[in-house]
Amino acid sequence: MGTTVAAWRHVALAMILTGSTSAASAQSSDGSFMSARRFMQRDGEVIYRTVCQSCHMVAAQGAVGAGAYPALANDPKLAVAGYSVLVVVNGSKDMPPFGALLDDEQVAAVVNYVRSHFGNSYPDTVSSADVRSARP
């Protein structure tokens, strides 16, 4: 707090609305750091590594402070694929919604990746169509 975040949001919003793509795009090969507006990564693992890992950590072990970021490793809550999709698209409590930052295919890719890694091995997958129907 005590920052210029609040006022900056107006500017960020302007950048977002006009779809600013960073001049740095040539420097990234995995799709990260390319856009101030949306995530451009396509691969499920890359999306986890460059986005989700920012809170859920490298081994999906979560993090504990005054509160906690939940672990996604060995997570029984991932058993129902539709639940994972809903949380990514709409957010949940502290977690912001990612529905406007990721398209249907990206959400499906990252949900399928997490549900089949980190000690999770759910055999079913979600499709872009499943994600589309989960959007509000």
- What residues line the site for other proteins (CB under 8 A)? 1-12, 14-16, 18, 20, 22-24, 27, 32-33, 35-40, 49-55, 63-69, 91, 93-97, 101
How far is C-alpha 87 from the geometric centre of its chain's CA atoms? 10
Q: What are phi and psi of 4, to 5 degrees?
A: -100, 20
Measured from the CB of residue 18, what is the shortest distance to other proteins in angstroms? 7
Distance (Å, whole) CA 124 – CA 121 = 9
Measured from the CB of residue 84, what is the shortest distance to other proteins in angstroms? 17
Measured from the CB of residue 123, what is the shortest distance to other proteins in angstroms? 28
Closest to other proteins by CB, 90 vs 125, is 90
* Secondary structure class of 18 (helix, strand, coil): coil
Measured from the CB of residue 26, what is the shortest distance to other proteins in angstroms? 11
Asked if residues 110 and 47 have their Cβ atoms less than 8 Å apart, the reply is yes
Distance (Å, whole) CA 23 – CA 100 = 22
Closest to other proteins by CB, 4 vs 121, is 4
